[in-house]
Amino acid sequence: MDLHPFQPREVKDVVESYLDAAYEKGFREVRIVHGRGIGVQRQIVRKVLERDPRVVSFRSGGPGGGGWGATVARLR
């Protein structure tokens, strides 16, 4: 999911909806692209992931996966 089209105030709801849909479809890993910028969207994304009981772990995207401009989450 790419969050670039969304305003920071929309990010929490968008990420929660995305996690709902991904989990329902059986995805075990998702990548959320928030961009590098000053880290506002990254902080919001990671706060949502920390609080969601379906999320086992999360990390930066790594080489070829968006680096620190993306977050990859593993789901139960």
Residue-wise pLDDT tens digits, 11-65? 999 999 999 999 999 999 999 999 998 999 999 999 999 999 999 999 999 998 9
- State residue 64 phi and psi, 5-degree precision: 80, -5
Query: Residue 55, SS3?
Result: strand
CATH architecture type of domain 1-75: 2-Layer Sandwich (3.30)
Contact between residue 73 and residue 29 where contact means Cβ atoms under 8 Å apart:
yes
Identify the bridge partners of residue 58 per DSSP, sorted by sequence position: 73
Supply the pLDDT for residue 73: 98
Question: Whole-prediction pTM value?
Answer: 0.93
Alpha carbon distance 65, 26 (integer Å): 21
Domain ranges across the chain: 1-75
